[in-house]
Amino acid sequence: MPIATVNPANGETLRTYEAMGEEEIERRLQLAEATFRTYRTTSFEERAGLMHRAADLLEADQDEIGKVITTEMGKPVKQARAEAAKCAKAMRWYADHAAELLADEEPAESDVKDSGGSRALVRYRPLGPVLAVMPWNFPLWQVIRFAAPALMAGNVGLLKHASNVPQTALYLEDLFHRAGFPEGCFQTLLIGSAAVDDILRDERVRAATLTGSEPAGRAVASTAGEMIKKTVLELGGSDPFVVMPSADVDRAAEVAVTARTQNAGQSCIAAKRFIVHTDVYDAFVERFTAGMRALTVGDPMDEETEVGPLSSEQGVTDVAELVDDAVRGGATVLCGGERPDGPGWYYPPTVLADVTREMRIHREEAFGPVATLYRAADLDEAVLIANDTDFGLSSNVWTRDDADVDRFVRDLEAGGVYVNGMTASHPAFPFGGVKRSGYGRELSGHGIREFCNITTVWHGA
């Protein structure tokens, strides 16, 4: 795939970039290793000052970088600005909390004595250069939620971003440079996917994190396993959105529309499978379908647009093939379902009913504004349908019954359970999944400690 900015709204190639050659990659690896040796000794206070400066710059740039994001991957510009603001918030959160999250821990005095020692502590030390392989769908947020904790922990970052967002990738390197981080603390590698394996095998790269597809995750995990390097993987999702009889159906339907179509449905944590108790099924479907049908689809630079184009022509093809397969298998299209004529890579908000296990869309992630509906006779069936997927990223449950909540929290196979609200990432809460959605956690204290050497320090009596 060429490294290029191609406007999804019209298919026009605006700018192309040459991939970095071996000499430039080597220079950057050397720089990362050299920078880490000194940056790792900086104080939390010093790092926090730099991170706050970067957050201030990003916040000031949000209009400009928002337009760049929209041009590169098609997100409505209002959502792009919001993404930038969210990143600045996370950067400040880690700047303010890193010292506390990575503070030395002291075991119980009785345990220290039992070990034969006089004193012991657990210290979190940085690992070194970390390779981040990041996707295009949230081109700022996916990177910042790695970079902010990694840099605050004393690591340095090497970014291999998606090939269709090169301007955003270069902006991120420049952002940390302008904030005053030492040269080499955060570098963008303009490379294709084929170059990732050699970089991950390099002994100077100590760990890797990837957000993306299952095949990409398998490739990175395989190489990292061979080289015995730590990885964190956040892969796909096919999140359930369960609505029970006690729910506020009007509110659930309203939130469901946003949960399915934000970023044109191109989100791993978007609600994708809507599992509705039979007692409220008809009422929910009527409201939800009406909301999906009423969305404004159009030019992502228009402030009124709610759903822009998908990021690529292949993305539209993939979504259309899933819908067409479902229709051939007997699914009912309640709205949408046909690719519109005209320029750009658009696909309409679509609702499918009568979905069965035999259909591809039941098993595969629909990375676009397509919702599938399931009718559940009771809570047991709702749990069964929700877990009938290879993914386990997050989940949404709508109920006012505490017993329902307890059961869902106990039995849903997912990294998160969001009750009476849509899944949303926040720097204070751990984020990640189970099953084929990956392993490890980002954000919160769990995320910042993923790329640390957890060191036991023991003193004899």
Mean pLDDT computed over 152-166: 98
Average pLDDT, rounded, for the chain: 98
Query: What pLDDT is attached to residue 260?
Result: 98
Query: What pLDDT is attached to residue 405?
Result: 98
Residues in the chain: 461
> What's the per-residue H, E or C state across 37-100?
HHHCCCCHHHHHHHHHHHHHHHHHCHHHHHHHHHHHHCCCHHHHHHHHHHHHHHHHHHHHHHHH
Reported confidence tier of residue 298, pLDDT bands at 50, 70, 90: very high
Cβ atoms of residues 130 and 208 within 8 Å: yes
Predicted confidence (pLDDT) per residue in 60-75, tens digit? 999 999 999 999 999 9
Query: What pLDDT is attached to residue 306?
Result: 98
Q: Does residue 149 register a pLDDT over 90?
A: yes
Query: What pLDDT is attached to residue 37?
Result: 98
Residues paired with residue 186 on neighbouring β-strands, in sequence order: 157
* Share of residues in the chain with pLDDT > 70 (%): 100
Q: Does residue 209 register a pLDDT over 90?
A: yes
Predicted confidence (pLDDT) per residue in 374-426, tens digit? 999 999 999 999 999 999 999 999 999 999 999 999 999 999 999 999 999 99
| Residue 401 CA to its chain's centroid (Å) | 30
Query: What pLDDT is attached to residue 417?
Result: 98
Consecutive H or E run containing 439? strand 438-439
Residue listed under structure tokens 């969305």: 295
Residues 6+ apart with CB under 8 A from 302: 76, 77
* pTM tops 0.95, yes or no: yes
Query: What pLDDT is attached to residue 305?
Result: 98
Mean pLDDT computed over 446-458: 98
| Residue 286 CA to its chain's centroid (Å) | 31
Mean pLDDT computed over 311-332: 98
**234 noted as active-site residue:** yes
| Alpha-carbon span 55 to 179, nearest angstrom | 9
Mean pLDDT computed over 339-346: 95
Catalytic residue among 33, 173, 234, 450: 234
Of 156, 191, 385, 384, whose CA–CA distance to 273 is shortest? 385
Predicted confidence (pLDDT) per residue in 24-49, tens digit? 999 999 999 999 999 999 999 999 99
**364 noted as active-site residue:** no
Catalytic residue among 268, 306, 335, 442: 268
Q: Which phi and psi angles does 249 have, rounded to 5°?
A: -65, -40
| Alpha-carbon span 410 to 394, nearest angstrom | 14
Reported confidence tier of residue 1, pLDDT bands at 50, 70, 90: confident
Query: What pLDDT is attached to residue 412?
Result: 98
107: helix, strand or coil: coil
| Alpha-carbon span 261 to 394, nearest angstrom | 16
